[in-house]
Amino acid sequence: MKFVLGKKSGMTTIYNEDGAQNVTLVTVVPNTIEMIRNEERDGYTAVCLSIDKTKKVKHQKEFRVDNIEGFKENDTIAVDVFEVGDKVSVSAPSKAKGFQGVVKRHGFKGGPATHGHRHVLRSGGSIGSAYPQHVLKGKKMAGRMGGNRSTAQGLTVIAVDKENDMIAIKGAIPGVAGRVVEIVSANK
């Protein structure tokens, strides 16, 4: 299992023998192993990685592993752990969109624009009946949208640039450009 923290750079197109490939570029700054958890002391085995988010703040993430052999504290993990063709999953908080109505948040059709209707074009409509005299839990209504942890699975590493510490992952990955993402590969 390979894992690393990186910063999403943006999307571009790479042309190779397979044709045009839409890829997301991720800058993999060297990760430091802050802590190693073992079965005897902590009850599970894990490796805690960190990167400098800013000069004062670090971003840390713990990855559970089956075998902690080969990991030592204060070692660094860099872009060279990935190879072209690796299948990876990328996790990050999705783009936050703030308070949104039901048309954007849930895909509602909205009300009619004419024939005697006013101000109902993007409204949600009725939210309940006379009984049980309250709004039921889980009712699709307007509210905050996005900002939740999202994972894109089964993505392929198209290119690895060791000089610039970048990898190109085929397709879109969650999150905003410049934010920290977690990249995990199941390949040995």
Give the pLDDT confidence of 76-113 residue by residue, as tens digits.
999 999 999 999 999 999 999 999 999 999 999 999 99
Domain boundaries of the chain, sorted by first residue: 2-96+148-185, 101-145
Task: Give the residue-averaged pLDDT of 133-162.
Answer: 95
Which pLDDT band, with edges at 50, 70 and 90, does 188 fall under?
A: low
Secondary structure of residue 39 in the 3-state scheme: helix
Greatest extent of the chain over all pairs of C-alpha atoms, in Å: 72
Which pLDDT band, with edges at 50, 70 and 90, does 181 fall under?
A: very high
Please choose, from the candidates 94, 81, 105, 96, the residue with its C-alpha nearest in 3D space to the C-alpha of residue 173.
94
Residue 136 has pLDDT above 90, yes or no: yes
Give the distance from CA 6 to its chain's centroid. 11
Task: Give the residue-averaged pLDDT of 139-156.
Answer: 95
Q: For the structural domain made of 2-96+148-185, what CATH number should be given? A: 2.40.30.10
* Residue 137 confidence (pLDDT): 94
Please choose, from the candidates 29, 21, 26, 69, the residue with its C-alpha nearest in 3D space to the C-alpha of residue 49.
29
Please choose, from the candidates 148, 179, 119, 156, the residue with its C-alpha nearest in 3D space to the C-alpha of residue 14.
156
Rounded to 5 degrees, φ, ψ at 10 are 155, 175
Q: What is the pTM of this model?
A: 0.82
Give the pLDDT confidence of 42-76 residue by residue, as tens digits.
999 999 999 887 777 778 888 988 888 888 999 99
Please choose, from the candidates 184, 161, 148, the residue with its C-alpha nearest in 3D space to the C-alpha of residue 12.
161
